[in-house]
Every structure is written in C-alpha cells, then in structure tokens.
Amino acid sequence: MCERAIRPAKRFWWTTLSMPTIKLATCLSAGRNSQRPDQIKHIYMNLIELEKFLKGQPSFRARQVKAAIFKNLIESWDEASPLPKDLRESLKKNFSLEITGAVMESKDKKTIKAAIKLEDGEIIESVLLKHNDGRNTVCLSSQVGCPLGCRFCLTGKMGFIRNLEFFEILIPLLFFARHLKKSEEKITNIVFMGMGEPLLNYDEVIDAIRTINDENGFNIGARKISISTVGIIEGIKKLAREKMQINLAISLHAPNDSLRSQIIPFNQSHPLKNLLKTVSYYIEKTNRRVMIEYLMIKGINDKPELAFELVNLLKDSLGKLFFVNLIKYNATGDYQPSDQKDIENFKRILEKNGVPVVERYRFGENIKAACGQLAGDCRRVRFRDEN
C-alpha cells in the first residue's frame, strides 16, 4: 500500500467518555466492558510508550500490535491471540482499548454522528454515512474549529482552536470501524470533509492517511480517500507530489472572485486565478480527476447566469479532468437552500454545455451531521463525569 513505514506519533490514545445529558437518538458503545457513567475516567493510550514497552519483545511484535488494533479491531487485549498470554496481561494493565462515544442517529438510519472528546477536553465530530449501494463512508475532521470563517459553515463560526494530531484524527474512524464490525460491515471510503481545513494541517492528515492506507492499519485504498480544501495552494502542490492516489475536492461555491469573497473570506487574498492554476498543475501532475464542490445557496449563487459563468471558468481553466458536485445547502441560520427547481435548472445548464455534474445525496440534516453543519451542537455536549 504505502511506501514507507508509518511515522510513530508522540502519543496515541483513545478517550473514554460517559454519555451526554442531551437527548440522543441512539447511543453506541465501542467498548465491550463499558463502565457506569460515575466510574468513567479519561484513559488514553500512548503509542510511543507502547512502542517502548515492546522494545524487549521480538521486532515483529509492534506490527502484530498495530494490526490487532487497526486491522482486527480488537476491543480487549484478550482478543490479540497472536500475542503471548503474559504480554496480553501486561498490556491489559497498562494500555486501555476502550472507546465510548456520544452518538446521534438520523431518522432514516443512514447517518450516525459521533461527538468524541479529546484529552484536553475539546470535542470533535465525525459522521458515518451508510449508502444504499453498500458503501460506508466516514467523514473525518482535521482541526478543532477552523480558521477560515466561511460564512455558510458552522465550524467556521467556532473559530480556530487547534490542529488535530494524526492519532486524534483516527479515533472516530476506529470507533466506527468497531461499530460496523458488529454487523459484519466495513468502512469503505474516507472523506476529509469534517471540521477544519485539512491542508492547513497537512502533515498530520497525511500521516493519518498512511495509517488508513497501510495493510497493517485500516487497509483502505488511497483511491477511496478524498480530501476537500477551500484552496490551500501550497497544500495542493504538496499533495500533487505525494506518491498516493488520493482524491482532491475543491470547495469552490462561486464562479467569480467578488461572490466567492463574500462567502469565503479566504478568497480575498487567494483569488480564483491562483487557485485554478494550482488545480490545473495538480491535474497535470497526477492525471486524476478533481471534484468541484458547489453549494446551492438560495439567492446567492444559484442564478442561471452564474451557471454559465461557472461553465466558462472551469472549461477554460481545467480542461476535462474535473466534474461538478452540486450540494443543496444545509441550513445553518444565515442562509437557506436553493429551491429544487433552481438546482435542476443550474444542473441542466452545466450538462448542456458539456460539464460533467452530479447532485450529492443529502445525509444527516436532521441531526446536524450534513455538510457545513458539524460543530453545531458539539460545543454544548456535556459528559456525566464532568461537574
């Protein structure tokens, strides 16, 4: 899968959470022997300490341990049968595997949103999307909050708190993988479209992807992994040079600088000309098709003349290796979604002018798990082991 070994983290841990006091549609436990709320303590695993702990063992033990955690998805060290019994007992005493998440499930059962509390008390949200064709996609976060302040996004309204380290990015993925294992299902796709701008936390996101891609990790192919960016030019260039076939998505949402700067302040200092030049470089370097994401916001960017402008912009700048993904806006208070007839008209204009276009299925709107809605509730989640 990937060419180099996974870079060890400074520490690797799982948080153990009690159930929140807010009303939840569904509560899932990813730990087999979960404690009562008044017993729960925050426990985290340190991969560096674990690696040190295994120093006296044969060299293949570290690979066995990583495979047990990420590939076999063990929930107890007793399940790590390749390990000697005395080692399993020692690991049980020193390194917890338990994860408990606060979870909301959509009415149609196709979306599960998990609020995961980190060691420092910050909370991130991640989403499992269950498709009709059998795919299971996990939407991952890369930051706590976001520094870009896009007008249409609840995460942007949080402001920026901090970057996630690569092992923190993986915690929700491990949670959902264990959950799906119970029904003999697997995670098939990964999208970095959750909280934060992935390319502003480039190294940690790439390290997380290496673990996701690694045969002793989650063993998910790079072509099943997508990164969405508002347009971090240096990050796109670096991604083009990576020896992994990761998919790139650009959050465009407007066909000109004037409109885009209104809804994406970042565009004021990083205009479309520079962004699309960089995307063209990415296409030339990788020969991979890029997804252009376009939110349909009522009265803002859904007019027919803007569809024609988008056609000219993309065909002139990107050639043929791209497609447009129209996304009906998920209300966050400031804006409203476009009417369906306007979306269909916008889509027809693109199609008639030779622009490949699809309309994204809407997941999780009723639990604020849809695009642009993450962090709407997570800052208010309270856990019962807190005062």
Q: Is 371 assigned a catalytic role?
A: yes
Query: Which of 2, 139, 146, 371 is the catalytic position?
Result: 371
Strand 143-145 and strand 160-163: pairing?
Answer: antiparallel
Retrieve residue 229's tokens: 């960016």
Q: Is 125 assigned a catalytic role?
A: yes
- Give, in order, the Cα–Cα distances in Å from 347 to each of 192, 206, 307, 331, 358: 25, 34, 8, 20, 8
SS3 5: coil
Q: DSSP characters for 221-242? A: -GGGEEEEES--HHHHHHHHHS
Cβ(189)–Cβ(138) under 8 Å? yes
Query: Which of 98, 105, 125, 168 is the catalytic position?
Result: 125
CA angle 17, 375, 130 (to 5 degrees): 80
Cβ(290)–Cβ(265) under 8 Å? no
Residue ranges in the chain assigned as alpha helix (H): 47-53, 61-66, 85-94, 154-158, 166-181, 202-213, 233-241, 257-263, 272-286, 304-318, 340-352
CA-closest candidate to residue 125, choices 386, 378, 383, 382: 378
CA-closest candidate to residue 179, choices 246, 118, 120, 126: 126
Instruction: State phi, psi for 233 to the nearest 5 degrees.
Output: -60, -50
Query: Tokens 């470089």 identify what position?
Result: 281
- Neighbouring residues of 6: CB distance < 8 A, sequence distance ≥ 6: 66, 207, 210, 211, 214, 217
Active site residues: 125, 371
